[in-house]
């Protein structure tokens, strides 16, 4: 007798063509089970984050935890390591999961595609569900796309596509088009992490294994080993529920928060049965430094965004510690993003930028990284040449132990080594980047080419959080002008006056969000949280009030 699976979930978003294939009763039942078991622990981990931010704001410094010293000192344990198709990760391309970008990534020649439902995706209901459809079709070699101009896109050689590693949204985000009933019967917005992971794993895990790869994930915004433990519990449950062998799921953790840099060994340990490696998510890492230490005085004020380089001492300490930690545990160490977008109208600009990309990848390969990220296919040959020069025919350099590295907590915390010079041009640039990115994000575009760089939520977060910090720390520019709300408001008006206003633009809404995330007294922990709640929810007016009791809505003013 056939019965329809029951679920604690309710879909409130509109159902368009083929959405029922992703939002099937069976898939929703599985995602509902994830919520029944793990929604409560998720809230506990978010509460932990809020507590830590409060302590840091009141003078506590991050440190390596004495209570987990035995894990760090035990040289005997190792992680599961690369799954099938992940042995060679020297070049990874990142991007959103719309059909065109999916096909471009699969045709790029990269070793790995980070299929991004997080920072490179504006989480409209359409982008999330149709992104899952793109992945579903791509995995089965049935994805095609025809542009409005009539150009047809398809994967040219399915046998040579990159291994897909999907990045779900972070723990702090919700999916307000799906609700789940808690134990009291109250309807709450679903966890975006559990929705993204659950739908992808349910539909694709067995097909990926059948094709010789596996269900692989990038885990974003993790701040502690307890958050990693929660993911490990989710993976174990999912494998049991879906009939997969233990350890089939593999995860690469982004070390893109400041607290996580002090718990890399512990994060690997908690995920050891499912872990493939760590990634140096450098732009979110910079944002996290500002967020956690924004009220701690001039020692923690960073200079203009374009002066925050990977060669700075505190950034070198972070990346070298990551390589050493990974290789000691036989985990891949994946380097950071090169976000330059080639400018065919300016060969000189492109040539200089490609030289910088090459130098960046040369440093990473020489330091021992096993691979690195690029945002554009044209950067792949440049990046590959640098890694090929170091790796040769080897798939990785896990045998490079970096015993010469001895990083202390003080070195990770040495933000002062960056210098603190801020210019009016840097202030104006941060305003322009934040407003233009928000405008595109509100139109449903999460990866935006601005000034020859691919901007995503992480880089926009640096720009707006620097503005907030500069204002609240009474920072004075190199030109001698104090950065105040009034100064930023004046420059904001000038920036807005210079921007084009094509039909359908969202500049007014972007300006509104900008003021909320950069100019208010309270610092929103993520700019996407208020922007999503106010503008991206396709529901009636009764849903405008936030009903998700997430600790991430609160923040501590220093």
For the stretch 148-171, pLDDT in tens is 999 999 999 999 999 999 999 999
> Is 168 in contact with 117 (CB distance < 8 Å)?
yes
Same domain, 396 and 457: no
Same domain, 134 and 258: yes
Domains identified in the chain, total number = 2
Average pLDDT (213-220) is: 98
Same domain, 401 and 448: no
pLDDT over 70 (residue 2): no
List of residues 6+ apart from 142 with CB closer than 8 A: none
Q: Evaluate whether residue 553 is within a structural domain.
A: no
For the stretch 496-548, pLDDT in tens is 999 999 999 999 999 999 999 999 999 999 999 999 999 999 853 333 333 34
For the stretch 19-48, pLDDT in tens is 999 999 999 999 999 999 999 999 999 999
Q: Which of 88, 304, 367, 456 is catalytic?
A: 456
pLDDT number for residue 540: 38
Query: What CA–CA distance (Å, rounded) separates 424 from 409?
Result: 33
Domain boundary among 380, 411, 442: 411
Same domain, 375 and 235: yes
CA nearest 275: which of 302, 248, 295, 244? 248
Q: H or E stretch including 166?
A: strand 163-167
Q: Evaluate whether residue 225 is within a structural domain.
A: yes
Q: Evaluate whether residue 124 is within a structural domain.
A: yes
Whole-number CA gyration radius for the chain: 22
Q: What is the dihedral of CA 3, 9, 11, 12, to 10 degrees?
A: 140
pLDDT over 50 (residue 554): no
Cα→Cα distances 104→12, 46, 115, 124, 214, Å: 32, 36, 12, 21, 21
Helix axis angle for 507-514 and 485-498, nearest 10°, is: 170
> Is 42 in contact with 175 (CB distance < 8 Å)?
no
Domain boundary among 384, 411, 438: 411
Q: Evaluate whether residue 550 is within a structural domain.
A: no
Same domain, 483 and 375: no
Query: What CA–CA distance (Å, rounded) separates 471 from 484?
Result: 5
pLDDT number for residue 553: 36
Average pLDDT (94-119) is: 98
pLDDT number for residue 188: 96
Place of tokens 């140096």: 280
Q: Evaluate whether residue 366 is within a structural domain.
A: yes
> Is 194 in contact with 33 (CB distance < 8 Å)?
no
Its pTM stands at 0.95
* Tokens linked to 410: 């003080």
How many percent of the chain have pLDDT more than 90?
A: 93
Q: Evaluate whether residue 2 is within a structural domain.
A: no
For the stretch 63-84, pLDDT in tens is 999 999 999 999 999 999 999 9
pLDDT over 60 (residue 137): yes
Coil vs helix vs strand at 552: helix
Q: 42-51, 355-364, 531-540, 547-556: which has the minimum mean pLDDT? A: 547-556
Same domain, 314 and 448: no
pLDDT number for residue 535: 94
pLDDT number for residue 420: 85
Query: What CA–CA distance (Å, rounded) separates 435 from 508?
Result: 10
Same domain, 401 and 435: no
For the stretch 427-439, pLDDT in tens is 999 999 999 999 9
Give φ, ψ of 267 to 5 degrees: -65, -45
pLDDT number for residue 551: 36
For the stretch 317-341, pLDDT in tens is 999 999 999 999 999 999 999 999 9
Same domain, 269 and 385: yes
Same domain, 369 and 448: no
Q: Which of 45, 53, 90, 167 is catalytic?
A: 167
Domain boundary among 411, 431, 455: 411
Q: Evaluate whether residue 107 is within a structural domain.
A: yes
To the nearest whole number, what is the mean pLDDT of the chain? 94
Residue 4: pLDDT band (50, 70, 90) is low
List of residues 6+ apart from 152 with CB closer than 8 A: 144, 145, 146
pLDDT number for residue 476: 97
Known active-site residue 456: yes
pLDDT number for residue 539: 58
Q: What is the CATH number of the domain that holds 500?
A: 1.20.1220.12
Q: What is the CATH number of the domain that holds 223?
A: 3.20.20.360
Known active-site residue 167: yes
Q: Evaluate whether residue 241 is within a structural domain.
A: yes
Same domain, 361 and 276: yes
pLDDT number for residue 547: 37
pLDDT number for residue 134: 98
Same domain, 397 and 441: no
293 is in which domain, residue-wise? 19-336+347-411
For the stretch 402-435, pLDDT in tens is 999 999 999 999 999 999 899 999 999 999 999 9
Same domain, 248 and 285: yes
């Amino acid at each position: 007798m056939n019965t329809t699976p029951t679920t604690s979930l309710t879909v409130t978003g509109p159902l368009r063509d083929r959405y029922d294939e992703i939002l099937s009763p069976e898939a929703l039942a599985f995602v509902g089970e994830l919520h029944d078991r793990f929604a409560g622990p998720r809230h506990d981990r978010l509460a932990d984050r809020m507590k830590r931010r409060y302590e840091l704001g009141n003078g506590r410094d991050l440190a390596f935890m004495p209570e987990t010293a035995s894990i760090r000192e035990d040289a005997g344990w190792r992680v599961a390591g690369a799954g099938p198709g992940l042995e060679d990760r020297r070049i990874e391309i990142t991007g959103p999961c719309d059909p065109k970008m999916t096909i471009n990534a699969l045709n790029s020649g990269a070793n790995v595609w980070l299929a991004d439902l997080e920072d490179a995706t504006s989480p409209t209901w359409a982008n999330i569900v149709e992104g899952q459809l793109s992945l579903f079709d791509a995995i089965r070699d049935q994805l095609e796309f025809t542009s409005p101009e009539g150009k047809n896109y398809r994967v040219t050689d399915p046998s040579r596509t990159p291994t897909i590693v999907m990045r779900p949204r972070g723990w702090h985000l919700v999916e307000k088009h799906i609700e789940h009933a808690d134990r009291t019967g109250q309807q709450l917005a679903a966890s975006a992490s559990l929705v993204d992971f659950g739908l992808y794993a349910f539909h694709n895990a067995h097909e990926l294994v059948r094709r010789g790869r596996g269900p692989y994930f990038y885990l974003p915004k993790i701040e502690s080993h307890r958050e990693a433990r929660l993911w490990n519990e989710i993976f174990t449950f999912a494998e049991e529920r879906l009939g997969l062998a233990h350890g089939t799921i593999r995860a690469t953790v982004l070390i893109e928060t400041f607290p996580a840099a002090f718990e890399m060994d512990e994060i690997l340990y908690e995920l050891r049965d499912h872990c493939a490696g760590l990634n140096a998510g450098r732009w979110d890492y910079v944002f996290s430094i500002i967020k956690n230490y924004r009220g701690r005085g001039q020692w923690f004020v960073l200079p203009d965004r374009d002066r925050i380089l990977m060669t700075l001492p505190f950034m070198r300490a972070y990346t070298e510690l990551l390589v050493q930690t990974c290789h000691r545990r036989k985990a891949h160490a994946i380097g950071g993003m090169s976000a330059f977008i080639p400018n065919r109208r300016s060969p000189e600009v492109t040539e200089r930028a490609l030289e910088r990309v090459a130098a960046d990848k040369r440093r990473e390969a020489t330091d021992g990284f096993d691979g690195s990220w690029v945002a554009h296919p044209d950067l792949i040959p440049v990046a590959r040449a640098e890694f090929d020069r170091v790796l040769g025919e080897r798939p990785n350099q896990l045998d490079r132990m970096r015993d010469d590295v001895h990083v202390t907590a003080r070195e990770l915390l040495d933000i002062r080594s960056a210098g603190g010079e801020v210019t009016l041009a840097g202030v104006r640039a941060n305003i322009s980047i934040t407003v233009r990115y928000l405008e595109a994000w509100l139109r449903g575009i999460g990866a935006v080419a601005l000034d020859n760089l691919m901007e995503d939520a992480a880089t926009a977060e640096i720009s707006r959080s620097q503005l907030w910090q500069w204002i609240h720390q009474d920072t004075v520019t190199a030109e001698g002008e104090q950065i105040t709300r009034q100064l930023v408001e004046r420059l904001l008006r000038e920036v807005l006056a210079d921007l084009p206003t094509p039909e359908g633009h969202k500049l007014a809404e972007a300006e509104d969000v900008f003021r909320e995330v950069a100019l208010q007294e309270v610092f929103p922990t993520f700019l996407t949280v208020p922007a999503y709640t106010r503008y991206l929810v396709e529901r009636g007016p009764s849903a405008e009030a936030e009903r998700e009791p997430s600790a991430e809505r609160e923040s501590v003013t220093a």
